[in-house]
Structure 1
Amino acid sequence: MTITQLSYVLAVAENQNFTKAAEKCFVTQPTLSMQIQKLEDQLDILIFDRSKKPIELTDVGRKIVTQARNIVNESYRIQDIVDQQKGFIGGEFKLGIIPTVMPTLLPMFLKNFIKKHPKVKLKIEELTTEEIMARIKDGHLDAAIAATPLEDESIKERVLYFEPFVSYIPKSHRLYKNKTIDVSDLDVDDMLLLEDGHCFRDGVINLCKAFKNQTDETFQLESGSIETLIRLSNEGLGMTLLPYLHTLEINEKEKENLRYFNEPSPAREVSLIYHKSELKMQIIEALQDVISGVVRGAIAFQNVKIISPLPK
Structure 2
Amino acid sequence: MTITQLKYTLAVAEYKNFTVAAEHCFVTQPTLSMQIQKLEDELDAKIFNRSKKPIELTPVGTRIVEQAKVIVDESNRIMDIVHQQKGYIGGEFKLGIIPTIMPTLLPMFLKNFTKSYPKVQLIIEELTTEEIVRKLMDGHIDAAIAATPLENEAIKERVLYYEPFVGLIPEGHRLFKNEKLEIEEIELEDILLLEDGHCFKDNVLNLCRANKKDTKKHFQLESGSFDTLIKLSKDGLGMTLLPYLNTLDLNEKDKTYLREFVSPPPAREVSLIYHKSQLKMQLIEALKSTIDGVIRGAIAFSDVEIISPLQKA
TM-score range (shorter-chain normalised) is over 0.9
Uncovered stretches (5+) of structure 1, i.e. residues with no partner: none
Matched ranges for 1:180-191 at <5 A = 180-191=180-191
Is 1:37 aligned with 2:25? Answer: no
Conservation of the 8 A alpha-carbon contact between 2:155 and 2:273: yes
CA deviation profile, 1:9-48 (whole Å, cap 9, x unmatched):
1122122233443443344545433443343344443221
- Give the SS at the match of 1:77: helix
Find the residue that maps to 1:227 and give its secondary structure. Answer: helix
Q: What is the alpha-carbon distance in structure 2 between the residues aligned to residue 173 and residue 20 of structure 1?
A: 52
Displacement of 1:231 in angstroms is: 1.1
Q: 1:152 Cα shift?
A: 2.2
* TM-score, normalising length: structure 1: 0.93
* Mapping 1:91-240, distance limit 5 Å: 91-240=91-240
Given the superposition, is the C-alpha separation of residues 27 and 193 from structure 1 closer, same or farther in structure 2, using an over 3 Å criterion? closer
Q: CA–CA distance in 2 between the matches of 1:191 and 1:66?
A: 45
Aligned CA distance change for structure 1 residues 220 and 81 (closer, same or farther; 3 Å): same
Q: Report what 2:80 is aligned to.
A: 80
Q: Which amino acid aligns with 1:277?
A: S
CA contact 1:181–1:262 (8 Å) conserved in 2 = yes
- The CA distance in 2 between the partners of 1:24 and 1:105, in whole Å, is 29
Q: Which runs of 5+ in 2 are unaligned?
A: none
More moved, 109-118 vs 35-44:
35-44
Deviations 1:46-69 (A, max 9, x none): 221121122111233223222321
Root-mean-square deviation (CA), in Å? Answer: 1.9
CA contact (8 A) 2:193 2:201 kept: yes
CA distance in 1, matches of 2:216, 2:131: 22
Alignment of 1:36-75 (within 5 A): 36-75=36-75
Give yes or no for contact 2:202–2:311 (8 Å, CA) kept in 1. yes
What is the CA deviation profile of residues 175-201 of structure 1, one whole-angstrom value per residue up to 9, with x for unaligned ones?
A: 112111111110012111111111000
Question: What is the TM-score with the length of structure 2 in the denominator?
Answer: 0.93
Please give the alpha-carbon distance, in whole angstroms, between the structure 2 residues aligned to 1:245 and 1:99: 13
SS at match of 1:111: helix
* Secondary structure, counterpart of 1:181 in structure 2: coil
C-alpha contact 1:146 1:271 (8 A) present in aligned 2: yes
Q: SS at 1:273's partner residue?
A: strand
SS of the aligned residue for 2:267 comes to strand
Identify the range of structure 1 (95-104 vs 108-117) with the bigger mean alpha-carbon deviation. Answer: 95-104
Give the stretch that moved more between structures: 92-101 or 61-70. 61-70
Aligned to 1:180, the other structure's residue is in SS state coil
* Residues 76 and 279 in structure 1, CA contact (< 8 A), matched pair in contact too: no
Q: Distance in 1 between matches of 2:81 and 2:266?
A: 41
State the alpha-carbon separation in 2 of the partners of residues 123 and 237 from structure 1: 39
Which one-letter code corresponds to 1:293 in the other structure? G
**Paired-residue identity, %:** 71
Structure 1 residue 270 displacement after superposition: 0.7
Q: Which amino acid aligns with 1:174?
A: R
Measure, in 1, the Cα distance between the counterparts of 2:166 and 2:247: 8
CA distance in 2, matches of 1:30, 1:229: 49
- Kept in 2, the 8 Å contact 1:188–1:218? The answer is no
2:166 partner letter: V
Partner Cα separation in structure 1 for residue 156 and residue 45 of structure 2? 35
Q: 2-side partners of 1:13 and 1:26: how far apart?
A: 16
Deviates more, 1:185-194 or 1:54-63: 54-63
CA gap 1:99/1:22 in 2 versus in 1, 3 angstroms: closer
Displacement of 1:112 after TM fit? Answer: 0.3
Q: Which residue of structure 2 lines up, in the alignment, with residue 21 of structure 1?
A: 21
The count of aligned residue pairs is 312
Judged with a 3 Å threshold, the aligned counterparts in structure 2 of structure 1 residues 279 and 51 are, in CA distance, closer, same or farther, namely farther
